[in-house]
Structure 1
Amino acid sequence: MKRIFTLVLVIILWLGIITSALAENTTLVPCAESSAFVERVQNAPDSYYTTKPLKAYSQLLCGEDGLPHLVLDRLSLALDVLIPIVIFLYIAGWIGWTGRSYLRAIQKLGSPEEKELFIDLPLFVKCMILAFLWPASAVQEFISGDLVNKDEEIPISIR
């Protein structure tokens, strides 16, 4: 019975019988019309670093505090946020995968403590270059079961 209910619920949601509600923006106003933003502009020092950004901000939507808010209701605005997030995650993953692959490589070569202190530069550069494709390597290692150690292989402190 539970499976049938789950199946019916999934079909209803999948077919879109339940319509999604669109949020209506009632609190944000154009910054040029916001009294708090106009006051901020008038009180700001007159310099290149304040005048130019404030002119650009006047095209955005402001809240009651007079500060611009970015509403991600259009795909182009969502991409403006999504692209830097993806770039950040890729670079962070690349750095992490480089360190992981270097540590795994020095374990196989012997004397890993020494190679952690005195980095084997040619090996590190090789690990860096191979880590450019870290998403594919991560998927491959996940499928093969090599990405995560088994519970028995993880040492536990006696404390």
Structure 2
Amino acid sequence: MASTVTFTPSGLVSPLKALASSKSSFTGAHSTRGGLTAVVASKARVSCAASEQKSGIEGSGKQIATALALAAVLSTAPLAFPQNASADIAGLTPCKDSKAFAKREEKEIKKLAKRLDKYAPDSAPALAINATIEKTKRRFDFYGSHGLLCGADGLPHLIVDGDQAHLGEFVYPGILFLYIAGWIGWVGRSYLIAIKDSKKPAEKEIIIDVPLASRLAWRGFIWPLAAISELRNGKLIEDAANITVSPR
């Protein structure tokens, strides 16, 4: 009669046959599998909820980005189309459409025409008054054709808020003024530095060295670049040790 051989694999505490016949072990294994199933289901629900939350956040993020892009486009619309911007700025209207502006032009021309009646047509005063009338007409026509805005007094008002439709009223002239003022100051500074080491610097401040001043004036047209270069080299600002301080 063949003997029954019980095979116990390495790593297992009890034989496979005993494990199959053990109800308690089967019940424990079943409960363990149930626990694993519950854990897997719980993880699946958490993963599903997390993915739904992530997709919701991404959707809201896309909506916010779309709203910001739309707001940026709407905010730059007046800059892209400055001619279509509303002319009603602080109660102002285009001079060409202003009744007060037209009335002021008519009043000035009538005043000049009344003076013209006192002189002969070919006299020098009459010619001068006619020239003034033409200048007045050109001035008012210039104000009306260049988009200037007038108030209730009929006078043009300058817009200085950086609107592209009105840059020529203040921004461009302001930049030109700063450039010219800086050029004058830079040339004067360069002249004083150039004569500092001469024999009679005080005399050259009174009696200008014209050839030297002319050369410096031509060089001064690039004063913004020269100022930046000297600032980088440390030559633009004098050291505090070289500045004299009066006693206190």
Query: Do these two structures clear the TM 0.5 threshold for a shared fold by scoring above it?
Result: yes
Structure 1 segments unaligned to the other structure (5+ residues): 1-14
Specify whether residues 80 and 38 from structure 1 end up closer, same or farther in structure 2 by C-alpha distance, changes over 3 A only. Answer: closer
Q: Which residue of 1 aligns with 2:239?
A: 150
Residue type of the alignment partner of 2:136: T
Deviation at 1:48, TM superposition (A): 1.5
Deviation at 1:80, TM superposition (A): 5.9
TM-score (norm. length: structure 2): 0.47
Structure 2 segments unaligned to the other structure (5+ residues): 1-67, 79-84, 111-132
Of 18, 36, 49 in structure 1, the residue corresponding to residue 135 of structure 2 is: 49
Please report the RMSD computed on the Cα atoms of aligned residues, expressed in angstroms.
Answer: 3.3
Q: Which residue of 2 aligns with 1:35?
A: 99
Q: Which residue of 2 aligns with 1:66?
A: 154
Q: Which residue of 2 aligns with 1:10?
A: none
Where does 1:1-159 land on structure 2 (aligned, <5 Å)?
25=88, 27-46=91-110, 47-59=133-145, 60-71=148-159, 75=164, 77-79=166-168, 81-158=170-247
String of CA shifts for 1:51-92, please: whole Å, max 9, x gaps. Answer: 332234344432122222344775354156443333332222
Q: How far apart are the structure 2 equivalents of 1:126 and 1:92? A: 18
Q: Which moved more, 1:94-103 or 1:113-122?
A: 113-122
Deviation at 1:147, TM superposition (A): 0.7
Q: Which has the higher contact order (CA 8 A, sep 6+)?
A: 1
Residue type of the alignment partner of 1:38: A
Specify whether residues 85 and 71 from structure 1 end up closer, same or farther in structure 2 by C-alpha distance, changes over 3 A only. Answer: closer
Identity %: 40
* Partner SS for 1:147: coil
Query: Rg larger in 1 or in 2?
Result: 2
Q: How far apart are the structure 1 equivalents of 2:142 and 2:221? A: 37
* Partner SS for 1:109: coil
String of CA shifts for 1:21-59, please: whole Å, max 9, x gaps. Answer: 979635222334433223323322242232332234344
Is the helix fraction higher in 1 or 2? 2
Q: How far apart are the structure 2 equivalents of 1:56 and 1:122? A: 42
